[in-house]
């Protein structure tokens, strides 16, 4: 019986430590977005930052609902005078689809910048600083993605605020929210190591 307890302790202790580390890292990453997230375009400060619209799934040349809402929110920012440029950051054909959509929403093509190497949120933030020379941005994505996005940009030298692009419930939203727990750990790792 004592051996069984010892074995259980040896097996469970590392799992508990890993779980506690994940919780701690998630709290730390989430703390970066306090007072930096806006739920509507009108409440954003009118500081004319460049807005980074983060990519999401595209299928057969059509944006997912999440991506559609991100681009629509970016276009609303632009039309409200809250930003002068939209940086569409994603991989594969995401930026082109985003640009096409933004132009359909009334954003002049000349004010849409493409970053087709922003394949991860980390890449989008580091490229904003190193490639595009940005020091402050407004990040456009859904609420569950904003804390990690702001954490990454802030720690990579890009002062950031975020606007929530969630305009409806999404089919894969549960997966996205759950995925964030481990994605935040990876973001923390990327920043610190």
Per-residue pLDDT tens digits for 22-77: 888 888 888 878 889 999 888 888 776 899 999 999 999 999 999 999 999 999 99
**Which carries the bigger pLDDT value, residue 20 or residue 125?**
125
For 119-173, the pLDDT digits (tens) are: 999 999 999 999 999 999 999 999 999 999 999 999 999 999 999 999 998 877 6
pTM of the model: 0.89
The overall average pLDDT reported for the chain is 91
The per-residue pLDDT for 162 is 95
Q: What is the SS3 string spanning 123-166?
A: HHHHHHHHCCCCCEEEEEECCCCHHHHHHHHHHCCCEEEEEECC
Find residue 54's DSSP bridge partners. 89
Which domains does the chain carry?
2-192 (3.40.50.620)
| Cα(184)–Cα(151) distance, integer angstroms | 9
Q: What is the pLDDT of residue 15?
A: 85
C-beta separation of 78 from 43 below 8 A: no
| pLDDT at 8 > cutoff 80 | no
Q: Whole-angstrom Cα distance, residue 140 to residue 69?
A: 9
Listed residue (20, 25, 19, 18) closest to 188, CA to CA: 25
Residue 60: C-alpha distances to residues 20, 37, 64, 180 (Å): 41, 32, 10, 26
**Tokens 């994603």 label which residue?**
90
Residue 140: predicted pLDDT = 97
DSSP label at 93? T
Whether the per-residue pLDDT at 92 is higher than 70: the answer is yes
Q: In this prediction, what percent of the chain has a pLDDT beyond 90? A: 67
* pLDDT of amino acid 2: 67
């Amino acid at each position: 019986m004592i051996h069984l307890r010892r074995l259980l302790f040896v097996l469970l202790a590392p799992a508990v430590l890993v779980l506690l580390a994940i919780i701690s890292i998630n709290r730390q990453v989430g703390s970066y977005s306090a007072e930096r997230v806006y739920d509507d375009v009108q409440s954003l400060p009118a500081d004319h930052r460049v807005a980074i619209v983060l990519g999401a799934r595209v299928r057969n040349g059509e944006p997912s609902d999440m991506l559609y809402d991100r681009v629509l929110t970016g276009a609303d920012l632009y039309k409200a005078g809250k930003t002068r440029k939209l940086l569409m950051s994603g991989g594969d054909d995401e930026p082109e689809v985003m640009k096409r959509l933004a132009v359909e929403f009334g954003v002049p093509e000349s004010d849409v910048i493409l970053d087709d190497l922003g394949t991860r949120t980390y890449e989008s933030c580091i490229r904003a600083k190193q490639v595009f020379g940005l020091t402050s941005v407004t990040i456009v994505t859904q609420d569950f993605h904003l804390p990690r996005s702001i954490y990454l940009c802030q720690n990579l030298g890009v002062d950031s605020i975020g606007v929530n692009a969630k305009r409806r419930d999404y089919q894969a939203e549960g997966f996205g929210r759950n995925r964030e727990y481990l994605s935040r750990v990876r973001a923390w790792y990327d920043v610190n190591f």
